[in-house]
Amino acid sequence: MSLQSFTFFAFLLVTVPVYLLLPKRLQSPFLLAASWFFYAAAGKAMGMPAMLPLCIAISGFAYLCGRALHKNGGAHKTAVLRVGVVGLLAILAFFKYNGAFARPGGWQGLAMPLGISFYTFAAISYLIDTARGDCEPETSFVDFALYTAFFATVTQGPICRAGQLLPQFKQEHRFDAARTVRGLRLLALGLFKMVAVSDVLGVFVGEVFGHYRGYGAPMLILAAVFYTFQLYFNFSGYSEVARAVGLLLGLDLPENFKTPFYATNFSGFWSRWHISFSSWLQDYLFMPLAWADVSRATGGRLTRLPAEFCVFTVFFVSGFWHGNTLPFVIWGLLQAVYRLGEELLHRRLGKPKKKAPARVLWAKRAGVFVLWTLSMVFFCAGMYNMSTADAFGILAGWFAGWAPARFAAELYSAVYTAFYANPIMVAFYYAFAAFGLALCFVLDHRRAFVYKNKPSELCLAAEKHRWVVYYLLVLGLLAGYILQSGGFANAGFGMYANF
C-alpha cells in the first residue's frame, strides 16, 4: 500500500473523516492504530510481516529512554542518552548492514525493514532534543509511537522533529475547508510528480542502464539526466503527498525540497534537497563534531576539529547511510569533494558576489547540475545493485557512440523494447514525458523566482491560471495511471523507502 496506490486512497477516505469526527481523546489512538495498520500492510506487501513489532519495539525503547532522561540528571542523564542513541544506532546498523556478512550455506542476512532509517532518526533526534531541553519529554506512549510511526512519514519521511510534531497531536483537529483545499492541491501536485513524471522516466532509465553496454554516449547521458529527474520528482512528490495527508488531518509537516536545481552552489543545493535529512545531519552530527573539545584526545595540539574534517565526515556518513556498497560510498565522497572544493575556492577567490550577472548565476546552476548528475550515476548503481565497475562503465560510455543516426535509432528502440511495441506509443511516451517535465519545471521556476520558495500549494493557489494547472495535473495524473496499467508500473513505496 504505497502513497500513490488506489488502496491507499481508499484507506485515506476512511481514515481522514473518521479521525476528524472522533472526540479529541480518541484521535491519537485511532491515528496510531491506522498508522500501524498501514505499516503492517506495507510490510505484508513486501513479504516482511515482522516489521511492525520492530517498529513498536523501537518506539517503546526510545520512549522509555526519554522518560529516564526526564528523571535523571548529570552523569546519569548523559549515560541514559548514550544508551538510547547507541542502542538505536546499533539496531539500525544491524538491519541495514547485516546482509554484507551473508554467506552461502551460512548466515543469510535479514532484509531491512521498510523506512527504519526514518523513524530511527526521528527517535534519535527526540532523545537528543529532550536531553538538551529543546523539547519536553513525552509522557504519552500513544503520542510518541504516533510520532515515530505516523503513516504519512514512516516509510520515507520527511524526518520530523519531536518539538514540532508532538504538540500537534495534543490538539483537537476538525474539518477545515481551507486546509483541505491546500491539501488537495498539494496531493495532486505530488501524485503528478510521482506517477506522471518519475514513473514514466523510470521506463527509460531502467532499459538504458540495465543494458548500458549496448547504448552510445547520448543515450547514457540522457539516462543519467532522466534518473536525476526521476529521483527528484519521486522523492519530492512523495514528500508533498505526505504533507498533503498531514494538511487533510490538520497537521503541519516540514517541507523537504525547495527547488534544489536552482541553487548556484552545493551549500545552497543541500539546503534545498532532502531538507529534513540534511538539517538532521547538520544539527546532530556536524555541529557536535565542530564544537567538540578534542584537546585531551590530541594532547593539546587541537582544540576543535577542522571544519573540513567535519564536512567530510558528514558526507561520508550520508553516503554510508544510503547503503554499505561502494557506489554509495563513492557518491558520498563526491559530495564531500564538491562541498570542500567549493569552500577552498571561496577561500582562494573570495566569496561570490550576491548580485552576480544572470549569465554567471545560470552557469553556476548548470555546473552544480552537471556535477550532481555525474554523482547520480553512482547513486543509481547503488540503488539497483549494480557494481562500481558498472558505474564507471556507464561514465566511460559517455565518450563513445556519438553518431546522430545511432542516437535516433536508440531513442526509438529503448522505449519500443521496454514499453509498447508500437510506434505511436513510442511517440506518445516521449511527448508525455516532455509534457510532464515541462509542467513541473515551469512550476518549480515560478516557485523559485516569483514566489521565493513559498510552500508549493500556496504557489499553486497564487497562479493566475491556476485552474488550467489543476486540470493539467489531474489529466496528466490519470494518463500516468493508464500508462502504468499498460505494464510499466515501477512504483512501490517511493524510491527512498529502501533507505
DSSP 443-477: HHHHHHHTSTT--HHHHHHH-TTHHHHHHHHHHHH
Question: With bands split at pLDDT 50, 70 and 90, how would you rate the model's confidence at 488?
Answer: very low
Per the model's pLDDT, the better-predicted residue between 357 and 299 turns out to be 357
Residue 73: its pLDDT value, please?
Answer: 82
Of residues 296 and 100, more confidently modeled: 296
Non-local (6+) Cβ contacts of 437 within 8 A are 197, 229
pLDDT of residue 355: 83
- Between 55-69, 81-95, 178-192, 351-365, the lowest mean confidence (pLDDT) is in 351-365
pLDDT at 50: 59
Query: What CA–CA distance (Å, rounded) separates 151 from 115?
Result: 11
Q: How confident is the model at residue 2 (pLDDT cuts 50, 70, 90)?
A: confident
Listed range (19-23, 75-79, 84-88) with the worst mean pLDDT: 75-79
Nearest 5°: CA angle at 200, between 196 and 202? Answer: 135
Q: What is the DSSP string of 20-66?
A: HHS-HHHHHHHHHHHHHHHHHHHHHHTT-TTHHHHHHHHHHHHHHHH
Whole-number pLDDT of residue 101:
73
What is the distance between the alpha carbons of residues 495 and 499, in angstroms, rounded to a whole number? 9
Residue 348: which pLDDT band, with cuts at 50, 70 and 90? confident
Q: What is the dihedral of CA 173, 175, 178, 179, to 10 degrees?
A: 50
Lookup: cell for 100:
554484507
pTM of the predicted structure, to 2 decimals: 0.94
pLDDT for 495: 65
CA distance 474 to 185: 10
In SS3 terms, 114-176 reads as CCHHHHHHHHHHHHHHHHHCCCCCCCCHHHHHHHHHCCCCCCCCCCCCHHHHHHHHCCCCCCC
Q: What is the pLDDT of residues 426-478, one digit of tens each?
A: 999 999 999 999 999 999 999 999 999 999 999 999 999 999 999 999 999 99
Counting DSSP H helices and E strands in the chain, the numbers are 21, 0
Instruction: Please say if the pLDDT value at position 46 is more than 70.
Output: no
| Percent of the chain clearing pLDDT 90 (strictly above) | 76
The rounded distance, in Å, linking the Cα atoms of 203 and 223 is 10
Say if CB 321 and CB 117 are below 8 A apart. yes
Q: How far apart are CA 120 and CA 108, in angstroms?
A: 24
Mean pLDDT of the chain: 91
Given a contact cutoff of 8 angstroms between Cβ atoms, the answer to whether 194 and 234 are in contact is yes
pLDDT value of residue 487: 45
Outline where 192-265 has alpha helix (H). 199-210, 217-249
Give the amino acid at 84. G
pLDDT at residue 485 tops 80: no
In the predicted structure, residue 315 carries a pLDDT above the cut 70: yes
Q: Read off the pLDDT of residues 94-103 as tens digits, 9 standing for 90 and up.
A: 988 887 777 7
| Rounded Cα distance, 41 and 37, in Å | 6
CA–CA gap between residue 173 and residue 154 (Å, rounded): 21
**What does the pLDDT read at residue 72?**
84
All residues at 6 or more sequence positions from 190 whose CB lies less than 8 Å from its CB, including other chains = 236, 237, 238, 239, 240, 241, 242, 243, 244
> In terms of C-beta distances under 8 Å and separation of at least 24 residues, what long-range contacts does 255-260 make, across chains too?
255/158, 255/455, 256/157, 256/158, 257/232, 258/453, 259/444, 259/445, 259/447, 259/448, 259/453, 260/232
Residue pair 176/250 in contact (Cβ under 8 Å)? The answer is yes
Residue 491 has pLDDT above 90, yes or no: no
pLDDT of residue 48: 61
Phi, psi values for residue 80, rounded to 5°: -65, -45
Query: Average pLDDT of 210-235?
Result: 97
**Torsion angle (degrees, nearest 10) of CA 257, 261, 266, 268:** -50
Cis peptide before 254 (omega within 30 of 0): no
Instruction: Please write the tens of the pLDDT for every residue from 378-425.
Output: 999 999 989 999 999 999 999 999 999 999 999 999 998 877 778 888
* pLDDT over threshold 60, residue 238: yes
Residue 234 near residue 494 (C-beta atoms within 8 A):
yes
Average pLDDT over residues 132-149: 96
